[in-house]
Structure 1
């Protein structure tokens, strides 16, 4: 690649990437893609189509201060003068700059994903970015009428259901009455990651605006974006739990085991198991591999009427309603009431002991295995009217949602009654 740094100060670094295109693309970086060497925002996609590019990369979280941009503009005249067709491209902080400096750079098209109107708290209250506002650098930094022109084409991509970004777009609308808006629902502020595609970048820069065409192109990218499905699941699950099962059934996802964090995974698993939307193939799509256990019957009941089980997917003791256990018996293994002794389950006809460390991380070990360093077996204690599960001097208890925790004292939440599974 033929690249050269053509301007630099304390706030920005500007790199020219030589190509063969008639267009010149101003590619603005964001908070994540700040200046690093001579890298340019969206460089791989832009170089693939051999665009001439000026990459304007922020060195600080300072939203492209006007004095830096004016100084840059004076110095790069010889680089931009040969290009009559110019496009500004960027997301978030870069999307703001693409709009803010569209008149200065005399661009014909602006592609701005989830842009800001301002980070000045007196303009827009936004705790995500107000902290970066510096009066000495950003005074009067909001997008103003003098920054934009109706003759320029503005394409703005955002999630209309995400209030934080929608507030900025609503401020921009009066200034950009002819702007075109493309909606990317349920992605929050992550349009840049979801729409990472060389072909789509090419179309956004070159293709005449056609909403139907662009939505079709965006759908193709989304369908192959693991990040998109993660955002959709995060947003839809609390409100439309049945949607997750449909997503898994209708899409060929193949996520790795680290795709969801532990908290996300636990919420997803509980919802799938509660509504029996899952089979082993679906779990594999989510990056969750599990060996199928044998079905067993004996169980302990907590004070909410739920059965105590070991969830072999989340690797935790939890409690579930009888219907959920019956429907998901391959994943939810009952804890048997066997008097005083170690807490264990039977999986694939093999007895396994439940051990835990001080961070309440549980795991299963075979009865003949050495206990891992830092772990201790959970003990089952039999009292006259109930059973209790103990770890050191703490007792396991459950809440109404089936989650378990450890308490210093033994209360009713930690008392379990032995009862045949079918009677729970």
Structure 2
């Protein structure tokens, strides 16, 4: 593999990867794919089709400062002169660079996933990246008409329902005379991850601009992308929870146990347990395994009049309404509470200590078993008229949605529980 650094300063590292294509690809990194050795953004996909590539990799979260990019031009000009077709590719911060420097780099096609117009808080309402704005580096950093070439075909992929990215898109759209937009609803800022595909990237670079063709290819990639379905579920589930019931009823799903990450698994099960009775068949379809418990009548009530339980599906202490607990009593186990003691639950007439590690992972440990060195038990403290649950000096709090977190003192209403 023939690779070499052709330019480097405090903000960017520029790497040439020699291939045998007629095209030269400028591949820009993002906040995640920053400079590391000789690595290039989307390297595996570009290598597969033997492209000549110049990888522009950021060293810092600095949005490819104009001064660095213009200094880079002395190094890349000899390469530009060798190719008639120059294509830019990148996502987010890299997508910004693709459009911002499309004219400077003489691009015939510019492919940008969820690009920014600017990170200047005076220019945009989006505050996700405001902390990285440096007036000394980013003066006049916004994409302007003078950055745009009338000879360049622009492709933008984004989620029209994700307001933060939509703001940038609408500002950029006004300046692009030749733009083809592809909507990827309910994927948030992760469009590039959803459409991670060597063949699709190759099409974006080489295929004639045919919107119907590209949408067909996008649909095919989405169909085979677990990440896409996870993103859609996480974006939609809290607003359209009935859809999950229809999916489970109408589809013979048999997902593996690793399909959903713990956070998404917790979201799905919370919605299911709150709004409908959960069956073992539902859980099997979603790849969720659980040991069945027995019910208990002891209940600690929080500030929102819900009750503290241990959720055997998510393996978390949470709070639920009594109605949800009654519907799903196999999985929602009330915490035992009488006096100051370790937090415990009872399952199949056997008592378990609720323990946790510093990463927030909770486990049930049989009452007489030894704790592993990384686990510490949750402690129930009885005060005058209320209880507190603690972990290493932090106190358990609940919110109106039943999600529990550990926060620093002092005690407040959300960290006090009463025994009903």
State the Cα distance separating 1:318 from its structure 2 match. Answer: 5.1
State the secondary structure of the residue aligned to 2:53: strand
Q: Partner residue of 1:135?
A: 135
What is the rounded CA distance, in whole Å, between the counterparts of 1:9 and 1:343 in structure 2?
A: 55
Call closer, same or farther: CA 1:5–1:287 in 2, change over 3 Å.
Answer: farther
| 1:147-195 per-position Cα deviation (integer Å, ceiling 9, x unaligned) | 2123321011111112221111111122113311111112222222222
State the Cα distance separating 1:41 from its structure 2 match. Answer: 0.7
What is the rounded CA distance, in whole Å, between the counterparts of 1:131 and 1:138 in structure 2?
A: 12
Q: Partner residue of 2:350?
A: 351
Structure 1, 76-85 or 308-317: larger mean CA deviation:
308-317
Give TM-score scaled by structure 2 length.
0.80
Question: In the alignment, is the contact (CA less than 8 A) between 1:256 and 1:286 conserved in 2?
Answer: no
Residue 28 (structure 2) pairs with residue 28 (structure 1): yes
CA RMSD of aligned residues (A): 4.1
Gaps of 5+ in 1: 418-424
What is the rounded CA distance, in whole Å, between the counterparts of 2:195 and 2:109 in structure 1?
A: 18
Question: In the alignment, is the contact (CA less than 8 A) between 1:299 and 1:307 conserved in 2?
Answer: no
Structure 1, 20-29 or 76-85: larger mean CA deviation:
76-85
| 1:117-137 per-position Cα deviation (integer Å, ceiling 9, x unaligned) | 122333224322233233333
Gaps of 5+ in 2: none
| 1:70-219 → structure 2 map (5 Å cutoff) | 70-219=70-219
Q: Partner residue of 1:254?
A: 256
What is the rounded CA distance, in whole Å, between the counterparts of 1:270 and 1:95 in structure 2?
A: 36
Question: In the alignment, is the contact (CA less than 8 A) between 2:353 and 2:366 conserved in 1?
Answer: no
State the Cα distance separating 1:296 from its structure 2 match. Answer: 4.5
Call closer, same or farther: CA 1:152–1:283 in 2, change over 3 Å.
Answer: same
| 1:213-253 per-position Cα deviation (integer Å, ceiling 9, x unaligned) | 22222223233333333332332233222234455665664
Residue 228 (structure 2) pairs with residue 223 (structure 1): no
What is the rounded CA distance, in whole Å, between the counterparts of 1:169 and 1:409 in structure 2?
A: 43
The alignment of Structure 1 onto Structure 2 pairs a total of residues equal to 410
State the secondary structure of the residue aligned to 1:94: helix
What is the rounded CA distance, in whole Å, between the counterparts of 1:14 and 1:318 in structure 2?
A: 49
Call closer, same or farther: CA 1:50–1:296 in 2, change over 3 Å.
Answer: same
Structure 1, 192-201 or 316-325: larger mean CA deviation:
316-325
What is the rounded CA distance, in whole Å, between the counterparts of 1:332 and 1:156 in structure 2?
A: 45
Structure 1, 64-73 or 352-361: larger mean CA deviation:
352-361
| 1:247-298 per-position Cα deviation (integer Å, ceiling 9, x unaligned) | 566566435288233xx544432211123374446546666431234x5475
Residue 284 (structure 2) pairs with residue 289 (structure 1): no
State the Cα distance separating 1:210 from its structure 2 match. Answer: 2.3
